Amino acid sequence: MKNFPIPTKEEVTPANQAIFDNLQGMVGFVPNLYAIFAHSETALSDYLALQNRKTTLRAKEREVINLVVSQINACAYCLSAHTQFAKMNGFSDEQILNIRRANIGFDTKLDALAKLVKATTENRGHVPAEVVENFYAAGYTEASLIDVTMVIGDKIITNYLHALTDIPVDWPLAPALN
C-alpha cells in the first residue's frame, strides 16, 4: 500500500490549522489519525462534532464501545489510543483486556453493554433479541441504544480509515490479546 501522507499544520486549511492547535493543547500532539482527516476541508471538524456530541453515555461506557469495536475490527491504532483513554478513565490494564474480550466480570452493566456492542459490530446490527433484552435489563434505555449505535458508527469510521491508510500508530501500542 502506498504511504498515505500525514499533513502538517502548514499544509491544511486555516480552519483545520485552528483544530490542530486545539488538539495540540488538549492531547499534547496532533494524532496522525486526526491529521489525515484534514486532507478534507470539513471532515476533521465534522468528525470531532460527531465524537464530541452530547450523549446519555458516560465516558467509561464510550471507552468500552471504542475498545470492543476496535478489537473486532482489528484496528491497532484505535486500540492503542483508546487503551490510553480507558486508563485515563480509571480502567486497569487487566480490565481493559477484559473489555476488549467483551467479557467484563467486574461490572454487570458494562458487560451487557460490551456484549451488545460486540454482537452489533459482528452482525452489522442484527443482534439476537436476548442480547438487547439483557442490555435493557442492565438499566439502559432506548436513548442509550441510539447513543451506543452512534458511538459504534464513530469508531467504525476511524477503524476503517486506519485500515485504508495504514498510517503509523503514534500512541503506545496496545498489547495483543492472548
List the grid coordinates of 64.
468500552
Coil, helix or strand at residue 3? coil
Q: Write down the pLDDT at residue 77.
A: 98
Mean predicted lDDT score pLDDT of the chain:
97
Q: Write down the pLDDT at residue 2.
A: 67
In a domain, 1, yes or no: no
Does an H or E element contain 21, and which? helix 14-27
Q: Per-residue pLDDT tens for 66-84?
A: 999 999 999 999 999 999 9
Q: With pLDDT > 90 as the criterion, what percentage of the chain qualifies?
A: 97
In a domain, 174, yes or no: no
List the grid coordinates of 118.
460486540
Q: Per-residue pLDDT tens for 131-141?
A: 999 999 999 99
For the chain, residues with pLDDT lower than 50 are: none
Structural domains of the chain, count: 2
The pTM of the full predicted model, rounded to 2 decimals, is 0.96
Question: Where do the H-state alpha helices sit in 42-128?
Answer: 43-51, 59-72, 76-88, 93-100, 108-122
Q: Is residue 46 located within the same domain as residue 69? A: no
**Domain coverage including residue 123:** 59-165
